[in-house]
Amino acid sequence: DHAASTWTTTWDRIDGRRVLPSVARNKTRKASSTRPWDLFPSHTSVRSRSIQPSPRIPTTRTKIERKKKKRRGWNARRRRRRRGAMNVGGFRNVRWNACRNRSNENEGGRKGVGRAWAKLYPNSQAYERGTLDVGDGHRIYYEQHGNRSGKPALVVHGGPGAGCYAKHAQFFDPGHYRIVLVDQRGCGQSTPRGQLVENTTSHLVQDMKRLQDHLDIQSWVLFGGSWGVTLSLAFACAYPERTEAMVLRGICLMRPVEIDWTFGGGASVLRPKAWSGFLQHLEVKEREDPLRSYHKRLLSEDSQVRDAATKAWQSWEMSLFITPRDLTQVWDGEKWEFQSTQQKGGKEEKGPSSSQPSKPEPEKKNAETPQPAIEGKADPNMPSSVAQAMLTAHYSVNHAFLDPNYLLDNVDRFRHIPTVMVHGLYDLVCPMRTAYDLHKRWPEAELRIVSGGHSMYDPAVQAELVRSLDQIRDRKPIRPAPMH
């Protein structure tokens, strides 16, 4: 019976009739209970062996194989749903899988397989470096990356005084964007370093305009973060026709309430130990107004006084950069210390503690009567960290040389500009209230609240920034319905 069933199936195939595999299998099951893999055994009769079976008859999938295939489909659908919509804090949904159009081969510009978290683009070399004389004794440094004939985009760094880095260009598609990096007055590679004379928000806005004319750019995309948000909005308010779009991160308007949050004790409720170390550097009388006290110390002619104040200043600022996910409080038997435990390369890397006692500070000879900054002269050997602290204190004490609600009251001047605002849910430097107040006045802009901190390299923040710039590159609409 077994040989007959095999012969019958083979004969039907070579007789010229087209027999479907299911029909052939039914015939064999009627003749005998032959298993699918026994249809064409090697020990058949001589006559059946002389006729080769057709390779077009597929083997039958077993019941277990069909179940495995079905289960794989279910798991794939579950993974897609997990990467779907995410609603944070009641704000507009953020779809992580919207970054699927990122390309694996960025230089070629071809679209590849989508990823849940958008990564930075490869590092690109600057094709032009130079300085521009903007008057008042200042020269600003700039670089250009990416495509020479691409869409112009300007990176507006934060701080004030933080400066630009080549890694900032990696948020842009180098095959599409013409990326301009610039160091603002008195910081980075701009000269003179640490110069506060003729250094205000209006001066920086005019510098951006001069650089735009120098590079023969009609309009560009502004990419600003933290203090860079304030400066970007100030430029858009002054020159809306020269601004094509904006991507803003860590919404900051430099209002008195925001400055008081950072340097007036507002954030101390979340970082009490770090705030205590920030005050311990000052005399008892100076602690009544920490911001102005530090401002005087940072303007001291004594470099040792400036360096000590800078160290305490940056220690407080960095404690606000650490998100709750990266913060560990450690007891060493005598005191509590905050340590950062960020994993890099599979290993834990412990960062400096925000309340870790520093080395004994030098004697403060001029601490009681600090001298004003040297106007007209600048120290070329001044560390960039000291220059950044000086500029941050300079703009904070003067409220960025703007009226408290200047940008909110002039939203109508740049309301038509397509804008994406990205703000971290755990941002302790710029309070969430600022992003809400700006979006309430400006519902046409898109506000994206992500599960991240203040840093632009936080995975969630980074993904949204890359996605927003890709969205502008692809000319996709970025204006949602107003948020209520």
For the annotated catalytic residues, the residue numbers are 226, 427, 454
Q: What's the gap between Cα 407 and its chain centre?
A: 24
- Cβ proximity of 448 and 427 under 8 Å: no
Question: Which residues fall within 8 angstroms of residue 5, CB to CB, at 6 or more apart?
Answer: 27, 28, 31, 32, 34
CA distance 404 to 198: 21
Burial class (CB in 10 A: 0-12, 13-18, 19+), 435: buried
The sheet carrying 347-350 orders its strands as 327-331, 336-344, 347-350
Six-digit token string for 434: 């600022």
Burial class (CB in 10 A: 0-12, 13-18, 19+), 189: middle
Maximum alpha-carbon separation in the chain: 113
CA distance 102 to 175: 12
